[in-house]
Amino acid sequence: MLALNLPTFEVKIKEEGTKKTIFDVIRRKYVALTPEEWVRQHFVHYLIEGLGYPQELLANEVEVTLNGMSRRCDTVLYDTNLKARMIVEYKAADVAISQKVFNQIMRYNMVLRVDYLVVSNGLEHYCCKLDYGNNSYEFLTEIPKYEAL
């Protein structure tokens, strides 16, 4: 897999037949190792180990219903009252971060109404803080540490 612009961690990969799987610390199971999953696992470890996000407040593959259709948010951070605070959307490293990606995460946010939106392809990371009171948003220069949220 491709080297990413994220800290390394102790990756747990195993082969099951002809397919490789990677251990997901959030779901506590091995999942198919795809290029997008490679990015997700690196980013989740960065959130937990690098930025102090509590593992127990993160969830992967969170289902939301939008216009009668079931969709899945890649990662959601909750507060201690289980209100969604952040949505993180991942793309494979060879997928450019585009307006289409931001449109996708904004659609998920129509349901969850979080404070932060994060998009990463493992090489580029964008974080946007939403201000519902002023109907505005601000792109941050870095992903905030958990204690600063």
Where do the domains of the chain lie, and which CATH numbers do they carry?
34-148 (3.90.1570.30)
What Å distances lie between residue 85 and 7, 17, 69, 108, 132, CA to CA?
Answer: 23, 38, 22, 12, 13
Q: What is the mean pLDDT of residues 50-79?
A: 96
At 126, the amino acid letter reads: Y
For residue 130, give the amino acid letter. L
pTM summary value? 0.94
Letter for the amino acid at 24? Answer: D
pLDDT digits (tens, 9 = 90+) for 8-56: 999 999 998 899 999 999 999 999 999 999 999 999 999 999 999 999 9
Mean pLDDT of the chain: 95
